[in-house]
Amino acid sequence: MTTEDSSPVPDYLQKLRLDGRNYVVLGAGLGMGRQTCHALSQAGAAHVLCVDIDEHRAREVAAEIPGGLSWHGDVTKRSEVVRLAADASQQLGRINGFVDIIGMAQWKSILEIDDEIWDWEFDICLRHAYLCSQELGKLMVASGGGTMVFISSISGLSAAPMHAAYGAAKAALMAWVQSLAVELGPHQIRANAIAPGTILTPRLDAIFTDEQRTANNEVVPIGRVGQPPDIASAALYLTSDLSAFVNGRTLVVDGGVDAKFPYNTL
């Protein structure tokens, strides 16, 4: 026996479009951030405010895309984030969402981590996310909703040898995203995270040896490490209406590493 399904079929490609919408990309100057600015723009975003601590990088990326705008400052400081929110509101009008790329790891063993490293990791991986969620979130609540996308890490899902402080901060970020989803969901704001594996950003590419590149490629089931466009694509999905019912989740983007049994088998 069959049952007729008379429900309308949506235009799925249209759900990917961001026409007329305005976004902020935090950490826009290089790698994943730059690619995300391009992804949002190519999907039709009217304006993308490219935020970076380096003024030259912010301006450079903004100049690459239609409707690109730039802003520079240190978003680990409340006063700077208040300034960002005010400037974004003035330049963009309604803010439909933001993508937060900011984060960096310092490599130290647990017994070598000092208070300065610990505080720095939580500032650059978590504090700025908390500040931007509040200040930009207030604008999004007032204007009727939007999307928040954060870049976490698989280091926050599993042990992170030699950068435990980074892993702890990223794990806290994923918990923060769940709280955002629950509290801001009634305001039509969706909050999600992406947990990348190894991504060959310009910074990482500059320090990798050929041997390290080969070794990392061999670890990944699909045979290569990630590239910045892989993360930008995930950010576009979580920003667009294709993910309209996805909220409070962390999307792992690691080429299958996390799904793999750690030991080679015969």
Active site residue ranges:
152, 166, 170
Which sign does the torsion angle of CA 151, 157, 160, 164 carry? positive
Instruction: List alpha helices for the chain, DSSP H.
Output: 12-15, 31-42, 55-64, 78-92, 115-122, 128-143, 164-184, 202-207, 210-219, 228-239
CA atoms within 13 A on the CB side of 217: 10
Widest Cα–Cα separation across the chain: 67
Q: Which residues pair with 23 in a beta bridge?
A: 48, 97
Q: 210 CB contacts (<8 Å, ≥6 apart)? A: none
Length of the chain: 266
